[in-house]
Amino acid sequence: MSDYFDRVERQIVRQVEAGVPRSSRLPAALGYLAAVAAVVVVIVVAGAFLLTRGSSPGPSPAAGHSVTVTFTASTIDPHAHLAAAIDRSIPILRARLRSVFPDVRVSRAGNEIVVTAPNANAGARARILALIGTPEQLAFYDWEANALTPSGKTVASQLQTQDPTATEISQGGANSSPGSPGAGSMNLYDAVKLAAKQPQSSSPDNSRLGPEYYMFGAPGSAACQAAAKANGTAPAAGRHCLLSGPADTKSDLLSALPPGVTAGDGEIATVHRGTVVLQAIPASFANPTAFGDPSAQFFVLKDDVAVSGSDTTNPQQNTDPNIGQPDVTFGFTSKGKSEFQQVTANIAHRGDLLSGLGQTLNQHFAVALGSQLITVPFIDFKQYPDGISGDKGADISGSFTVTSAKDLANQIRLDALPVTLTARG
C-alpha cells in the first residue's frame, strides 16, 4: 500500500533517522531568499537606539545566530501598487525593528518582505512577529487613575489614604521622578504577576486587544541558565528570569523558548486584556535598559488609553525653547484635541481635590510607546485648572539626544504600514 498517509509516514521516518533539524536551519526556499536579502541589504546606521523591547538583554555576537522571517505582503488600499507599497514599508519596518535588532536587515523579494536578524537570541522570531504585527502605539494615560499599587488598587484610589507606595508612584521617590525606576516600580516578574491577577476588562480604549503571555524560570534553575547562555549573559542570582515573551499567543511564546527549555520548565503568566506592563522611563533614551534585563523596572497600569497615537499628527524632533534640549512635538486631530483637554482637565481637578488635604499633589499623565513609558509629566492644576488645550499640540521632553528624539518622532509618525503582512511558516 502506498497511500497519502504512507507517504507522509515515510517522509517523517526519513527525517527521524536523519535527526532533528537545527532550529537555525532554513528550508531551501527561505535560505535562497535570505541570500537574496543579503545582497540587497541596506546597512542600517547604528546610532542611539530609542527603545529596547527585546525579551532579553542585547544579543551577543558570540551567542546569537541568524533568524529570518519572511512575510507575504498585500496592500491595504486595493488600488495601490504592491511593489511601491512594499518599498515604502521597508524603512518603516527597519525603524520599528532596529530598536530591538540593531543589525536587522529588511528587504524585498518579489511580493514578500524578508527580515533577517543576525546575531539574534532565542526569542528573536517571536519578537520580530510582535514588533511587526503589533506596531508600537503611542498612548496617553491618566497616570494615577491607571497605575496600580502592589495591592492591585489604582494609585488615585489610594492617595487619599496616604498609602506610601501610591504616593511614591504618584510623586516619585527621593531620587526619582514619577514613572522612573525606583519610584514605586517593580521588577518584571513582580509586575507581570500583579498584572496577571487583574481580571480581563475589554473596552474600546484598550491599547491591546488580546492577552499577552510571559514565561519565567525559577531562580537558579537550569532553564534560567539556558536562557542566560542563549543571551550571552550571566544568570541573575536569586531572581526569576524571563524565558520568553511577551507574546500574543502561547504558541509564539513556546516557539521562542531558549534551546533546551520546554514548556514545563517555567511558569507561564497571562496578562489579560485591560492591563498593561510598561517599562519605566529610561535614564537615557540613547542607552536604555533592555526589556529582559534583570535590572529593568516596570509599572502596571489599567489599559484605559485617554488619547491614542492615531489622534496625534505631525510628530517631529524639535528643540525645547526653555531648556534648549531636543524634544518631540506633535499636534492632535480634532478628536485628539478634545480628548487631551478632557484628560488633562480630569487630572487637574483631581490634583486640586487631593491638594486640599494640606499638601500639593499635582497629578500626571503618562505617555507610552508600546510597552515603554516615555514621560510622566504633571499638570499644574493652579495654572491649568481646566486642563490643557490641545489646539497648540504638545511636546514630549526628556533625556533625549537629537537622534533619539528623531527616532521617537519617526516611531510615532511611521506607525501605519501601507501593507498587511502575513508571516510564512
Interface residues toward another protein, by CB under 8 A: 3-5, 7-9, 11-21, 27-28, 30, 249, 251, 262-264, 422, 424-425
- Report d(CA 21, CA 15) in Å as an integer: 8
Instruction: Tell the smallest beta-carbon distance from residue 10 to another protein (Å).
Output: 9
Instruction: Tell the smallest beta-carbon distance from residue 230 to another protein (Å).
Output: 17
Residue 98's nearest CA partner among 398, 404, 399, 402 is 404
- Report d(CA 371, CA 53) in Å as an integer: 7
According to DSSP, residue 262 is labeled -
- Report d(CA 192, CA 300) in Å as an integer: 8
Dihedral of alpha carbons 196, 201, 206, 210, sign? positive
Q: And the C-alpha cell for 58?
A: 542585547
Give 108 or 424: the residue with its C-beta nearer to another protein. 424
- Report d(CA 155, CA 161) in Å as an integer: 10
- Under a CB-based contact definition with an 8 Å cutoff, are residues 381 and 351 in contact? yes
- Three-state SS across 38-104? HHHCCCCCCCCCCCCCCCCCCCCCCCCEEEEEEEEEEECCCCCCHHHHHHHHHHHHHHHHCCCCCCC
3-state secondary structure of 414: coil
Angle in degrees, 0-180, between the axes of helices 124-133 and 82-97, rounded to the nearest 10: 120
Give 14 or 79: the residue with its C-beta nearer to another protein. 14
